[in-house]
Every structure is written in structure tokens, then in C-alpha cells.
Amino acid sequence: MATRIPVRNAFYAQSGGVTAVINASACGVIEAARKQKKIGKLYAGRHGIVGALTEDLIDTSKESAAAIRALRHTPAGAFGSARYKLKKYEDTPAQYERLIEVFKAHDIGYFFYNGGGDSADTCLKVSQLAETLDFPIQAIHVPKTVDNDLPITDCCPGFGSVAKYVAVSIREAGFDVASMAKTSTKVFIMEVMGRHAGWIAAAGGLAAEQAGDAPHIILFPEITFDEEKFCARVKQCVEKYGYCAVVVSEGVRNSEGKFLADAGIRDAFGHAQLGGVAPVVAQLVKSKLNYKYHWAVADYLQRAARHIASKVDVEQAYAVGKAAVEFAMKGHNAVMPTIVRVADKPYRWKIGSANLAEVANQEKMLPRDYITADGMHITAKARRYLAPLIKGEDYPPYKDGLPQYVTLRNTPVKSKTGKSFVV
């Protein structure tokens, strides 16, 4: 005689800026959910919480096992992501009532939300529906952010792969400039993401293993940009090593606290600045030192670069997705699986748990002792922390020279509320 298990459906969505491995988390959630008898259908929200509000749901059961497995090696958000934050219940009760309407209509008892700090706040608010509006739901947050700025977890899925891309790229560009410097380009500047915290810029530092290796200089958002000090260091590098490779975070600010990229400076071509700090720094190098320069802005290439993803990152992204489902099955609510570092060398990690209330809207900054005293490189401590996160390669399959990323069928679920909702 089988015990009757109460079966409820689940909701999963992707939120905020996407990463090279957020779909690996989706893969972890879906594969784990498919094994659970207590979970009926797993519906994905199209474009994050927007999909829930507009009842724009995707029936993931229509996807083959092979397609779901392929999510593990596919970058970006297979169900569409969104930059959309729920306001407080008091301010927008209609949104919460709508969520409950949709969840009730589709018998959703499990809510998995895959995002960063802002998204954790949304997930927390949904988790509170159980109490505030007497709607039984378990909300589990699945961590994701290239910015690596979520608290409690040792690192954030998505970060390791950007870190690897940045370290590999600056190493390669460094080799390039080193060979050209005698008669041509002497200074190379690569702009990377990280508006508030310098985690990604710091990762570039991993490429420098020996004295003289690129990058020679890292400009962090945490350190006020000092034009004179920077130029002096560039000059020193060019004189000593023949060239200078620089990683600059998009979030670098001047002494007035203004982003260099927004500081009203004109770029190398005399055009008003259009959002790149690299050309601003390049122009400075030209005007103050008269060195020939090149610059790159990696932008989305860095966070979409599944072709050079970190194996550790892929494994962790998958693991937090899987763990989220397991947490739900254990009856948890308002929690987030975390990565707990067990050892640095050899690197070992396990899954832990954090209360969402302690995660939402918190930013973990790069510790000052991860940055050298001169403010222009990373310390041994930073290296010890960062190095394991880029370990291992996890290549996607290729066909005719191109990576084979999956595009899901994304079959819509029929509306049951019969109502539309404007977000």
C-alpha cells in the first residue's frame, strides 16, 4: 500500500543579468525535479518573475531529457531573464495578489528563483506569501551572479567562468602585446565588468604568475583612480618589461566619486564618452605618456563565454540547482543553497544553506587585503581564494566548428486565470 504523496507543481525562473552557467543551474533544478514524486509539473516563467505575473509559463515537461541535459553546456537564460524587482507588499498589493492567483491556478507549491542580490529580494518576498497572504509556497533562491557579490556563499555560480575568461583573455592579449611592443602597441587596456565590486577585475590578476606577466596593473572600483600614480606605473612597466597590460573595472571612479566612464571625458576619438572606461584610460596613456595603445571592452562576451567556462563553476551551478529542489523536498522555505569552501588546496567544497533574509540586497565587497598596498594588483590571499574557482575546462560539444547550444521549444502553458496583467 503506497502512501499518498501530496503532489504540487513547481515554478522556476531566471532573473537579472545572465551568465555562462545559469542554465546549468536550470538543468540541476529540472533534472532533480523530474526525479521527485512530490513535484508534478515544473513550469518555467518566461522572463523571470514577469512570466509569473503575466501568466506566461513554459511547460518544461515538453522538453526532452537530451534538451535539458544540453542546458548544462548552454550559456545565457534559456527561459528568458528579466531585470524586474517586486516592490513592497504595501506599495503594490495587486502584484502579490496576482502572483497568488497565478500560483493557485497552476497549483504551484515550489518557487525556485535563480538570480543575484536583487532577485533574492524578490524570492524572499514570495516566500513571505505563505505567511502574509496565507498561501502555502516554499521559495528557494538559486544563487547566480557574475559579480560574485552575494553574502554568505563562498562564491557565486557564474563568477568562476567570467573569472576564467578574463584571466585567459588578458594572458593571451599580454602575449600579443609583448610581441608587438618593440615597434608598435606598448599599452593594452581591457575593460571588464563589476560596477560596484572588483571581483572580476581581481580575477584577471590570476594570469600574472611571475614577475613581468600580464596583467601588470589592475584598476579596481574599490580604489580611487589616481592618474599620476597610474601613469607612473605604466611608464615603469613599459621601461622594465617593454609593455604594459592593464585590466580596468568598469566601475573605477575618480577622486570626486564619479565613474571615469561617465566623467564627461571625451574618448580617444573626440567623441563624447559612450560608456567605456577603457578608451578613457587609453587616451590618458596617449596624452600623458605618448605610448601607442590598444583597448578592448569585453562586455557581454565575458559573461556569455560558455566555450571557456570553468569546470568548477559549471559543477557548482548545477549543484545549487539540484540542492534547491532537495531543500524544497525537505520542507525548507526562504533559503538559498550556498557554496561552502572546505579546503583551498586541493580545493574542496560542499553545499550549505543561507537564510534569504540575510542574503537579499546585501553586497559582498572585495576585501581590502585582497588588493596590494599600492592598490594596483591582487595579493597572495586573493589568489588563494580565486584560483580554485577557474579550475578545469568544461567544453561544450561542437559541430562544424561552432558550439552547439540548445534552444528549447519553450511550449507555453494555457492560461487558467483568463486574465491579463500589465507589468
Answer for which of 190, 202, 317, 336 binds a copy of itself (CB under 8 A) is 190
Q: How many residues does the chain have?
A: 423
Residues 212-251 that bind a copy of itself (CB under 8 A): none
Residue with cell 565587497: 365
Hey, what amino acid is at 357? A
Residue 309: CB minimum distance to a copy of itself, A: 10
Q: Which of 71, 261, 378, 408 touches a copy of itself by CB under 8 A?
A: 261
Q: Which is nearer to a copy of itself, 368 or 395 (CB)?
A: 395
In terms of CB distance, is 223 or 297 closer to a copy of itself?
Answer: 297
CA–CA distance, 360 with 119 (Å, rounded to integer): 8
We find the least distance from the C-beta atom of residue 421 to a copy of itself, in angstroms, to be 15
Strands 187-192 and 244-249, how do they pair? parallel
Our CB check for a copy of itself shows the closer of 108 and 282 to be 282
The phi and psi torsions of 77 (rounded to 5 degrees) equal -100, 110
Please report, as residue ranges, which positions from 18 to 37 form the binding site for a copy of itself (by CB under 8 A). Answer: 18, 20
> Is 416 an interacting residue with respect to a copy of itself (CB under 8 A)?
no
Site membership for a copy of itself, residue 172 (CB under 8 A): yes
Which of 190/323 has CB closer to a copy of itself? 190
Closest CA to 408 of 1, 14, 5: 14
Q: Residue 393 interacts with a copy of itself (CB under 8 A)?
A: yes
* Least distance to a copy of itself, CB of residue 327, Å: 25
CB-based burial of residue 350 (10 Å sphere; 0-12 exposed, 13-18 middle, 19+ buried)? exposed
Q: Which residues are catalytic?
A: 147
Contact stretch for a copy of itself (CB under 8 A) within 61-69, 226-234, 257-265, 362-370: 257-265
| 402 touches a copy of itself by CB under 8 A | yes
Using the rule CB under 8 A, which residue among 100, 105, 133, 168 binds a copy of itself? 168
Q: Using the minimum distance from each CB to a copy of itself, give the nearer residue, 113 or 405.
A: 405
Between residues 90 and 209, which has the closer beta carbon with respect to a copy of itself? 209
Q: Cβ of residue 84: shortest distance to a copy of itself, in angstroms?
A: 6
396-405 long-range CB contacts below 8 Å, 24 or more apart? 396/73, 396/74, 396/306, 396/307, 397/73, 403/73, 403/306, 403/307, 404/70, 405/70, 405/73, 405/74, 405/75, 405/306
End-to-end CA distance of the chain: 48
Sheet containing strand 108-115, edge to edge, reads 57-59, 39-45, 8-14, 108-115, 138-143, 335-344, 347-355
Nearer to a copy of itself, 96 or 293 (CB): 293
- CA torsion sign for 188, 193, 195, 196 is negative
Among 26, 206, 244, 354, binds a copy of itself (CB under 8 A): 206
387 with 393: CB under 8 angstroms?
no
CB 77 within 8 A of CB 49: no
User: Between β-strands 57-59 and 39-45, what pairing exists: parallel, antiparallel or unpaired?
Assistant: antiparallel
**Out of 262, 344, 358, 363, the residue judged to bind a copy of itself by CB under 8 A:** 262
Pair 364, 148: CB distance under 8 Å: yes
Binding mask 277-306 for a copy of itself (x = CB under 8 A): -xxx-xx--------x-xxxxxxxx-xxxx
Minimum distance from CB of 4 to a copy of itself (Å)? Answer: 39
Per-residue contact string for residues 102-141; x = within reach of a copy of itself by CB under 8 A: ----------------------------------------
Among 11, 24, 25, 47, binds a copy of itself (CB under 8 A): 47
Bond into 346 cis (ω within 30): yes
| Residue 82: how many other CB atoms lie within 10 Å | 22
The residue within the footprint of a copy of itself, chosen from 33, 390, 408, 413 (CB under 8 A), is 390
